């Protein structure tokens, strides 16, 4: 398969621009990142600088990969990360635009690589528990209803890739933050900080420069783990409730 790539190239401290590359003879079974590997190998052979992009496990687990492909965070295939997107999902001969996450809180480091440490600041502000949990307890030592355990596990699937921010017109991190707040709010271990967690994490989110949620729903559509927007409603309840009790 042959493709024409329009890739965002940007060096630190400079203005970026889209640069055109030809990706010819690509296997239809190649993943999107494998296709970029092939393009980079050919660039290196010509003594040109390869395209910088994030990746690690390439199994849809770590959340390191992430680009906006033809206007979609992680590409147009729903419920998958970029490393799980295969070239057979594109038409032969198509033009593909590849850009980094676009958000004030995610400054571009180089090409398609952005600094996502703003997420770390949100987690540091409240995404933890202070109790000594020790080793794994017996299965029935702390009874938790199955529905509650399932709901906590659903939001715990968030991998912090930043697709929700990249897809949101306001570059909001509400889906990410709400997932981390909900996970701990549902479990007994998270109750100690419950009345302050939402306050601290929302303040950290705002300080990082993320926008507000206006219910566009793009975050849920782009999330590779399909985290529900219902969690944003829980975040709001946790925030308002802690404000009243405070």
Q: 152 and 98 in one domain?
A: no
Q: 18 and 67 in one domain?
A: yes
Q: 130 and 78 in one domain?
A: no
* Choice between 243 and 218, residue whose per-residue pLDDT is larger: 218
Q: 200 and 138 in one domain?
A: yes
Q: 223 and 150 in one domain?
A: yes
* pLDDT at 146 > cutoff 80: yes
- Residue 246's pLDDT band (cuts 50, 70, 90): low
Q: 232 and 123 in one domain?
A: yes
Is 147 in contact with 207 (CB distance < 8 Å)?
no
Q: 98 and 43 in one domain?
A: yes
pTM for the full model? Answer: 0.92
Residue 181: closest CA among 167, 160, 202, 161:
202
Show which of 85, 109, 133 is a domain's final residue: 109
Mean pLDDT of 46-73: 95
What is the span of the domain harbouring residue 80? 3-109
**Start-end of H helices in 97-145:** 117-126
Show which of 79, 109, 139 is a domain's final residue: 109
DSSP secondary structure letter of residue 226: -
Q: 150 and 132 in one domain?
A: yes
pLDDT digits (tens, 9 = 90+) for 7-58: 999 998 899 999 999 999 999 999 999 999 999 999 999 999 999 999 999 9
Q: 232 and 157 in one domain?
A: yes
Residue 233: closest CA among 187, 189, 177, 195:
177
Q: 239 and 141 in one domain?
A: yes
Q: 135 and 67 in one domain?
A: no
Show which of 109, 142, 163 is a domain's final residue: 109
State how beta strands 113-114 and 68-69 pair: unpaired
pLDDT digits (tens, 9 = 90+) for 111-128: 999 999 999 999 999 988
Buried b / exposed e along 155-177 (16+ C-beta atoms within 10 A): bbebbbbbbbbbbbebbbbbbbb
Q: 241 and 216 in one domain?
A: yes
In a 13 Å sphere around the CA of 223, the CA atoms on its Cβ side amount to 21
CATH number for the domain harbouring residue 153: 1.10.1060.10
CATH number for the domain harbouring residue 12: 3.10.20.30
Rounded Cα distance, 27 and 29, in Å = 5
In the chain, the number of structural domains is 2
Q: What is the mean pLDDT of the chain?
A: 93
Rounded Cα distance, 176 and 155, in Å = 9
């Amino acid at each position: 398969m042959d493709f024409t790539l329009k890739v965002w190239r940007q060096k630190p401290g400079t203005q970026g621009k889209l640069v055109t590359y030809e990706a010819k003879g690509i296997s239809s079974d190649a993943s999107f990142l494998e296709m970029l590997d092939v393009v980079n190998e050919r660039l290196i052979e010509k003594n040109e600088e390869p395209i910088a992009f994030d990746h690690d496990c390439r199994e849809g687990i770590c959340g390191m990969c992430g680009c906006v492909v033809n206007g979609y965070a992680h590409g147009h295939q729903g419920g998958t990360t970029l490393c799980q997107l295969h070239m057979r999902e594109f038409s032969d001969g198509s033009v593909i635009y590849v850009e980094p996450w676009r958000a004030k809180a995610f400054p571009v480091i180089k090409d398609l690589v952005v600094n996502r440490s703003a997420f770390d600041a949100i987690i540091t502000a409240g995404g933890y528990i202070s109790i000594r949990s020790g080793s794994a307890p017996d299965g029935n030592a702390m009874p938790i209803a199955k529905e509650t355990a399932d709901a906590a596990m659903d939001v715990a699937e968030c991998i912090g890739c930043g697709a929700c921010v990249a897809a949101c017109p306001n570059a909001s991190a509400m889906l990410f933050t709400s997932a981390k707040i909900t996970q701990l709010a549902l479990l007994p271990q998270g109750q100690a900080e419950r009345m302050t967690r939402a306050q601290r994490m929302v303040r950290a989110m705002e300080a990082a420069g993320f926008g507000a949620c206006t219910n566009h729903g793009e975050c849920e559509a782009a999330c590779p783990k399909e985290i529900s927007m219902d969690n944003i409603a829980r975040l709001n309840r946790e925030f308002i409730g802690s404000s009243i009790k405070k």
